[in-house]
Amino acid sequence: KIIDYRGETYKMLDRLHPTLIYAGQFDAQDGPKTIYPWLVNDDYFQTGWTQDIYWVQNATTKVNSDLINGGMYRTGYFYGHYFLTVPKAGHFVPKNFYDVTEQFLIDFYKYGQLSIREDPEAGKYASVREQVCNF
């Protein structure tokens, strides 16, 4: 039997404490059947949300201007809540994508939010952004 924890989740989100919920792309697509209806169909998540690419510094080059796609995120502008989907990952995100995991943990512990980095070529990703972020 599946236990419905939506009520508890809403209570947590309503406390206005910064919250990050993340999943690997494969879990977001092929995970429990309840994930998609919860994020897409629930009225709680339908208004006031923005979406974009989460850019992370390339750990190989260590150059600030050399950014890689660390995932797609949605955020509630008045809540400070984030849903981050890490590309090409399942539920072992921290093991498989250590650099991305390290960066979003640093961002959240240090700043209480994901640090948004602008990619100079961001315009060319607009159509991909719309497709991937639209849960």
| Count of structural domains within the chain | 1
Least confident of 40-44, 58-62, 111-115, 127-131: 127-131
DSSP 43: G
91, part of any domain: yes
35, part of any domain: yes
1, part of any domain: no
Whole-number Å distance between alpha carbons of 86 and 66: 18
Whole-number Å distance between alpha carbons of 100 and 86: 8
78, part of any domain: yes
80, part of any domain: yes
Domain interval for residue 18 = 6-133
107, part of any domain: yes
DSSP 34: T
CATH number for the domain including 67? Answer: 3.40.50.12670
34, part of any domain: yes
Count the alpha carbons within 13 Å of 39 in the hemisphere toward its beta carbon: 22
122, part of any domain: yes
Written as one letter, the residue type at 86 is: V
pLDDT tens digits, residue range 87-130?
Answer: 777 667 777 777 888 888 888 888 888 877 666 555 555 544 45
